[in-house]
Amino acid sequence: MSETREPITGIEVPINLQFKFTAGKALTRFLTSIREGRIVGQRCPGCNNVYVPPRGMCAACGIPTEEEVSVSDEGVIESFTVVHIPIPGNPIKPPFVAANILLDGTDMACLHRVSEVDNAKVHVGMRVKARWKPREEWDYTFENIAWFRPVEGS
Amino acid sequence: MREAAIIGYTQSAQRRYAGAANESELIMPVVREVMQSVGVSQKDIDFTCSGSCDYFQGAAFAFVEGLNAVATAPPIRESHVEMDAAWALYECLLKIWSGEADLCLVYGFSKSSPGELRSVLTLQLDPYYQVPLWPDAISLAALQARAMLDAGIISERDMAEVVARSRRAALANPKAQLSGESSVEELLAQPGFVSPLRRHDCAPITDGASALLVASAETARRLCARPAWIRGIDHRMETGMLGARDLTRSPSARYAGARAGVSAGAVDVAELHAPFSHQEIILRRELGLADGVSINPSGGALAGNVMMAAGLDRFGHVATRIMQGEAGRGVAHATSGACLQQNLVAVLEA
């Protein structure tokens, strides 16, 4: 074959698969509660740690967690980062703060946004409280909380 | 080489749809049960290895969630294979043989119900030449069965006999998903599904989890009255290019069986991981199993097929029979890939 061809450097293979996500029993209870504006965690009968969101088990002790605990929507920033690079498909415009927030009465931080504050003033140990979306927008999602905001005076 | 033996095994109920329970919630009960059965806890485990595949959940790094089901504090030594957990067992054996571990926990799990399994399995094929054509897993198995029928190696009656025997055997397995008494004639009267396969020639779609404990010699003798010793084990694979294979044969299974020492003694029981009826016939031939061997007394994959655990289940069922004194020498086989592409064979003895 005398004809010269451009080397093939890639091909496109479109893939479209659909999955039904299974939240699991514990997370289902969490999602059902947060739809009503309540945050529910679970306490480990072994180490007494309270986990939000609950997973139905304590990964440290390897035992099931059954006891449900209502948890405050207020807590403390355990660590945070200021996101400057936009995330594809994410409607939130940078720069914004993503923080690990330890809700009062819990032992494992959960990830959420912090807003209504100058990003430069966010600090570890800052007390924050949930800013809930309007009730009519609530669904089975942690996004019912729009973000966390600083507690006055902290 | 250090000796190693299986000393415990637990399997969840095999179900078409595990409902609200997620993967971690399926794993935890079997992990706890297998450890209780020999009287150990996670702190006694030197190495933990799991087998699963994120594609069944459709979520990257989904296998990490499985670790919620085992006690991981203080930190444990742990690994994962994106394969059937029979290969996780193999990784544990490497740890035991090299003297790095004496007691290992293996678990395999999946829910195949969230996605369309036969299409999800397409993604294990060659990504350039095969995946763009989207051949699904059942169609590929049907090509293999057709090749065997055309070559005169099997008849549709032979396939139906495998199914009838599997479903009947599964009546004695309370964990089985499909079981029952049906005649070969009744099965042959069923309509075609993907020709020449009928629905019953294909393993069902199953959600579930299994856990197994494997130990070095001293630990095995201390914890188990009658361990199932792993006397030989080998795994081999064939090319991913289906067109380059003779699908009526499985040289990799034959080679692995020879290397594992299948023919070195009489075989009481064999659990063969054959997700399609005709594949059991291929495996029987390649492993040289005599007519008197009890094949798949658990019902096999045709009675319940938890992806990424069904191969480990074959080990578990053979080991259980040996531990309970019902068998003296058995063969366990696991497969992976399309049309028996990869094969792992082991000989277990009392």
Go through B328-343 and write b for each residue having 16 or more CB atoms within 10 A of its CB, e for each that does not: ebbbbbbbbbbbbbbb
Residue A153 has pLDDT above 70, yes or no: no
Please, which residues 164-193 of chain B have a Cβ atom closer than 8 Å to chain A?
A: none
Q: Where are the domains of chain A?
A: 25-150
| B148 within 8 A of B248, measured Cβ to Cβ | yes
Q: Which residues in chain A are contacts of B50 at CB distance < 8 A?
A: none
| A40 within 8 A of A12, measured Cβ to Cβ | no
Residue A150 has pLDDT above 60, yes or no: yes
* ipTM for the assembly: 0.80
Distance from CA of A8 to the nearest CA of B (A): 12
CATH of B4-116+205-226, one of 3.40.50.880, 3.40.50.2000, 3.60.15.10, 3.40.47.10: 3.40.47.10
Residue B114, chain A, CB below 8 Å: the answer is yes
Tokens of A86: 């936009």
In what helix (H) or strand (E) does residue A26 lie, and over which residues does it extend? helix A25-34
Q: d(Cα B83, Cα B35) in Å, to the nearest integer?
A: 23
Residue B119, chain A, CB below 8 Å: the answer is yes
| Site from B68, B72, B112 to mutate, A interface, most A CB atoms within 10 angstroms | B68
CA nearest to B233, candidates B131, B110, B80, B345: B345
Tell me the pLDDT tens digit for each residue of A15-24: 899 998 888 8
Q: d(Cα B296, Cα B305) in Å, to the nearest integer?
A: 13
Residue A27, chain B, CB below 8 Å: the answer is yes
- Say whether A62 and B28 touch across the interface (CB within 8 A): yes
Tokens of A27: 């997370």
Tell me the pLDDT tens digit for each residue of B213-226: 999 999 999 999 99
pLDDT of residue B57: 86
Cβ contacts of residue B189 below 8 Å, gap of 6+? none
Please provide residue A27's backbone torsions phi and psi, each rounded to the nearest 5 degrees: -65, -30
Tokens of B118: 């036969």
CB pairs under 8 A between A and B: 78
pLDDT of residue B300: 98
CA dihedral of B14, B15, B16, B21, whole degrees rounded to 10: -120
Residue A154 has pLDDT above 60, yes or no: no
- Say whether B132 and A11 touch across the interface (CB within 8 A): yes
Residue B45, chain A, CB below 8 Å: the answer is no
**One-letter amino acid for residue A5 of the chain:** R
Residue B111, chain A, CB below 8 Å: the answer is yes
pLDDT of residue B20: 80
Please state which CATH number belongs to domain B118-202+229-349.
3.40.47.10
Please provide residue B12's backbone torsions phi and psi, each rounded to the nearest 5 degrees: -75, 165
Go through A101-111 and write b for each residue having 16 or more CB atoms within 10 A of its CB, e for each that does not: bbbebbbbbbe
Percent of chain A with pLDDT over 70: 97
Q: How many C-beta atoms surround the C-beta of residue A84 within 10 A?
A: 9
| Confidence band, pLDDT 50/70/90 cuts, at residue A1 | low
Question: What is the three-class DSSP state of B289?
Answer: coil
Domain limits, CATH 3.40.47.10, in chain B: 4-116+205-226, 118-202+229-349
Distance from CA of B223 to the nearest CA of A (A): 21
CA nearest to B284, candidates B305, B301, B262: B262
What does pTM read for this prediction?
0.92
Tell me the pLDDT tens digit for each residue of A50-97: 999 998 999 888 889 999 999 999 999 999 999 999 888 888 889 999
Q: Which residues in chain A are contacts of B111 at CB distance < 8 A?
A: 22
Q: Which residues in chain A are contacts of B24 at CB distance < 8 A?
A: 24, 55-57
Given a cut of 70, the residues of chain B with pLDDT beneath it are none
Of A19, A59, A64, the CB nearest to B115: A19
